[in-house]
């Protein structure tokens, strides 16, 4: 297939769904890691096309959702300083901290700006030499190369008023933590295609070997996901576990090597706290010592921050595939995109937002809505 509409073709989707049903002989639990994949599943009703014995659960692959509360609170505190311009991706503005969010910080006079690229923040720093420009650098391996390039560029130019507030996370250590948990239910993974476009498939081989679990690199269209599910089901039913790549049009085994090199130049692997989950060893990135002058965590002291998630929010269990958004008593009642308790309800990749926007909060499920 060469065209986008082919990957949304209802006829192809129904054929794949029938093939999946023909192969499934027992219950299986599969997890799609990426929040973009979750939104496709909800938008097109992919789960409604599958046998009832085949359950899809949603993983921690929403970068906004796993950014720690402390990082949001620190960004809000920095935005309140008159000498600071805080630059962020737009979907971070409504993510709740412990008491507020960046949208309210902006309304209260903070100079908070949103950008589509960290290099825009470098331009802002270049144009405002008397202000400290801080870019809120969050995300998985997908956004890390661009953030690394922004710091590298600032260093080459000798900019002294630019820095990153870093909260980068890595996918393979998160899968390892999920598999090592005594509460784990997942028997097969759909790995995030965008991350693998940068990092390739190679680093997932160790997970397949260590846990004897099939991992399928998957795309983001309905046909992509149904094909990935079919390939996983065939492995599970045959009692085998290997790494496969469904998303071959975008992902290679080694990935984008130049992007990996700039990441390695600027960042090093470190322990990282995940919102609602806790610290996962060696699951994040921090700036190397050579780039310490661009680390907002070192430059600006806003005091020690340790905060807890709202007791009512079950986002941590949703991010680990233990519960669905609709299992939360506050879902679509006390927690909505306009008034979110947790990040998964406000993020464009959050599972709770996907359920809310694509009919899953109303009584009576609509029929699967792959384009006809």
pLDDT score recorded for residue 364: 39
Name residues whose C-beta falls within 8 Å of residue 6's C-beta, 6 or more positions apart in sequence.
Answer: 12, 223
pLDDT tens readout for residues 198-250? 999 999 999 999 999 999 999 999 999 999 999 999 999 999 999 999 999 99
pLDDT score recorded for residue 40: 96
3-state secondary structure of 312: coil
User: Sorting pLDDT into bands at 50, 70 and 90, what band is 99?
Assistant: confident
Q: Is the pLDDT of residue 157 over 80?
A: yes
Per mean pLDDT, which range of 63-67, 165-169, 200-204, 283-287 is the poorest? Answer: 63-67
Q: Is the pLDDT of residue 251 over 60?
A: yes
User: Sorting pLDDT into bands at 50, 70 and 90, what band is 348?
Assistant: confident
pLDDT score recorded for residue 65: 92
CA distances from 191 to 208, 211, 233 (A): 12, 15, 15
CA distances from 46 to 52, 244, 316 (A): 12, 21, 24
pLDDT score recorded for residue 28: 98
Per mean pLDDT, which range of 33-47, 109-123, 205-219, 345-359 is the poorest? Answer: 345-359
pLDDT score recorded for residue 259: 98
| Torsion from C-alpha of 6, 8, 12, 14, nearest 10 degrees | -170
User: Sorting pLDDT into bands at 50, 70 and 90, what band is 275?
Assistant: confident
Name residues whose C-beta falls within 8 Å of residue 238's C-beta, 6 or more positions apart in sequence.
Answer: none
Domains within the chain, CATH numbers bracketed:
4-63+172-245 (3.40.50.11750), 69-170+256-266+283-299 (3.40.50.11740), 315-357 (no CATH)
Q: How far apart are CA 283 and CA 72, in angstroms?
A: 19
pLDDT tens readout for residues 42-59? 999 999 999 999 999 999
Q: How far apart are CA 17 and CA 188, in angstroms?
A: 17
Q: Which structure tokens are listed for 224?
A: 């992509």
CA distances from 296 to 83, 94, 329 (A): 13, 21, 38
Per mean pLDDT, which range of 14-18, 127-131, 232-236, 362-366 is the poorest? Answer: 362-366
Please identify which residue in the block is written with the tokens 């959702």. Answer: 65
Q: Is the pLDDT of residue 16 over 70?
A: yes
Q: How far apart are CA 131 and CA 344, in angstroms?
A: 33
pLDDT score recorded for residue 91: 85
User: Sorting pLDDT into bands at 50, 70 and 90, what band is 185?
Assistant: very high
Whole-structure pTM value: 0.92
Q: Is the pLDDT of residue 363 over 60?
A: no
What mean pLDDT is predicted for residues 72-80?
Answer: 95
What mean pLDDT is predicted for residues 297-324?
Answer: 83
Q: Is the pLDDT of residue 352 over 90?
A: yes
Q: Is the pLDDT of residue 102 over 90?
A: yes
Please identify which residue in the block is written with the tokens 């909800």. Answer: 42
């Amino acid at each position: 297939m060469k065209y986008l509409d082919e990957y949304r073709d209802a006829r192809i989707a129904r054929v794949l769904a029938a093939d999946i049903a023909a192969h499934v002989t027992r219950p299986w639990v599969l997890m799609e890691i990426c929040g973009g994949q979750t939104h496709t599943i909800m938008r097109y009703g992919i789960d409604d096309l599958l046998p009832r014995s085949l359950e899809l659960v949603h993983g921690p692959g929403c970068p906004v959702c796993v950014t720690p509360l402390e990082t949001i609170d620190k960004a809000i505190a920095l935005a309140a300083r008159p000498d600071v311009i805080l630059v962020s991706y737009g979907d971070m503005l409504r993510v709740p901290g412990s008491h507020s969010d960046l949208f309210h910080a902006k309304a209260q006079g903070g100079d908070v700006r949103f950008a589509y690229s960290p290099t825009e923040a470098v331009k802002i720093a270049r144009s405002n030499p008397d202000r400290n420009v801080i870019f809120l650098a969050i995300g998985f391996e997908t956004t890390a190369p661009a953030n690394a390039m922004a710091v590298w560029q600032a260093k080459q130019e000798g900019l002294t008023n630019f820095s990153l507030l870093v909260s980068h996370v890595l996918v393979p250590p998160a899968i390892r933590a999920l598999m090592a948990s005594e509460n784990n239910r997942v028997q097969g993974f759909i790995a995030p295609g965008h991350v693998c476009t940068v990092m390739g498939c190679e680093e997932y081989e160790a997970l397949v070997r260590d846990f004897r679990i099939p991992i399928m690199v998957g795309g983001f269209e309905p046909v992509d996901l149904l094909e990935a599910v079919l390939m996983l089901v065939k492995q599970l039913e045959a009692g085998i576990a290997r790494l496969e790549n469904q998303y071959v049009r975008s992902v290679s085994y080694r990935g984008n090597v130049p992007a990996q090199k700039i990441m390695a130049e600027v960042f090093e692997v470190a322990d990282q706290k995940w919102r609602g989950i806790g610290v996962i060893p060696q699951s994040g990135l921090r700036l190397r010592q050579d780039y310490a002058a661009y680390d907002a965590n070192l430059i600006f002291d806003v005091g020690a921050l340790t905060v807890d998630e709202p007791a009512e929010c079950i986002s941590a269990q949703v991010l680990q595939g233990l519960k669905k958004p609709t299992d939360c008593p506050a879902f679509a009642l006390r927690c909505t995109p306009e008034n979110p308790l947790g990040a998964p309800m406000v993020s464009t990749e959050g599972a709770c937002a996907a359920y809310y926007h694509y009919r899953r909060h109303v009584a009576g499920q609509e029929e699967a809505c792959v384009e006809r």
